[in-house]
Amino acid sequence: MSAATGTRRGGGSAPPRDRIGPNAITRLAEALVGHGGPALAAEVFGQAGLARHLRRPPDTMVPEDEACRLHAALRERLGAQAPALARAAGTATADYLLAHRIPRPVQALLRWLPAPLAARGLLAAMRGHAWTFAGSGRFEAAAGSGGRATLTIRGNPLCRGQLALAPACDYYAATFERLFRVLVHPDCRVAEVACEARGDTACRFEVTREAPPKIRA
């Protein structure tokens, strides 16, 4: 379940620890263009010092500090609109993974399994490929009951050095939510309940199951 377009360098060599997959940049570019056109994308990327990535979108792992600068520029430039755009980019990232990175037989198996077993299978894949989205951060995942789970990133590269009053990692939350909805259960919801940008010790995401609405007699 790689967020990158490549594989680990050197086969069995250690993965890069200061880089993440390019989707954190390329999908945000798409969201910005869709929201405000090329001019808005150019403004945000220029503010982050990454105009070159608009001219030539990256297709290999990128330095995590570049992704951090871009997402910080998004929040600074667009304020209250930033979370929706980050979520759009996160959802698009998950769709990319489903289309290009997660094998179809694996997807079919996860969809067939009961939600608790599917969640455990998805979490195992996420742990194995955490280097593609958490970079030098440390990813942890614990399964709960009924397809529920807790996901944690310590040293989150996308909010490093940032200050916020509310959880700021909408990109990750949307990516995780889309994957859980498609592969585990459509009622899954993901909320960030702790964030390093807010002063918490880690960014923590809770995966819950939304109860179906009651039908009135």
**Rounded mean pLDDT, 198-215:** 83
Contact 164, 195 (CB under 8 A): yes
Query: How much of the chain, in percent, has pLDDT values that exceed 90?
Result: 85
Check residue 144 and give its pLDDT.
87
Asked if 90 contacts 183 with a C-beta cutoff of 8 angstroms, the reply is no
- Residues 6 or more apart in contact with residue 117 via CB below 8 angstroms: none
Amino acid at 50: L
Q: What is the mean pLDDT of residues 104-127?
A: 96
> Which position has the higher pLDDT, 216 or 110?
110
**Does residue 90 surpass a pLDDT of 80?**
yes
Express each pLDDT in 149-169 by its tens digit: 999 999 999 999 999 999 999
How far apart are the C-alpha atoms of 183 and 128, rounded to whole Å?
A: 17
Which fold would CATH assign to domain 19-209? H-NOX domain (3.90.1520)
Q: What's the angle, vertex CA 110, arms to CA 106 and CA 112, rounded to 5? A: 115
* Euclidean distance between CA atoms 118 and 149, whole angstroms: 11
pLDDT for the residue 7: 37
What is the dihedral angle through the alpha carbons of 200, 75, 166, 160, rounded to the nearest 10 degrees?
Answer: 0
The pTM score is: 0.89
Mean model confidence pLDDT for the chain: 90
pLDDT of 27 strictly over 60: yes
